[in-house]
């Protein structure tokens, strides 16, 4: 079984709705099962990515924030 590809989007320093829009654009170019990691610094992105995953059907595999305030989201395209 092959491991899904992981693409990264760096949206640090961008404000809502840009991190989510960049993620949506990247997901459109991925194959089903591929993964997208998004880096963001906008605290509003927490809610945005949760709601987006619920509404779009993509899987939000993880959502973390580090000590520097960088949010990391790992999504898997459906």
Catalytic residue annotation: 16
What does DSSP assign to residue 69? Answer: S
Residue 59: count other Cβ atoms within 10 Å of its Cβ: 14
């Amino acid at each position: 079984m092959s491991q899904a590809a992981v693409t990264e989007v760096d949206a640090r320093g961008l404000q809502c709705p840009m991190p989510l829009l960049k993620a949506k654009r990247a997901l459109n170019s991925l194959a089903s099962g591929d993964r997208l990691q998004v880096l963001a610094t906008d605290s509003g992105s927490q809610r945005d990515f949760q709601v987006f995953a619920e509404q779009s059907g993509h899987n939000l595999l993880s959502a973390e924030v580090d000590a520097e305030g960088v949010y990391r989201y790992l999504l898997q395209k459906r």
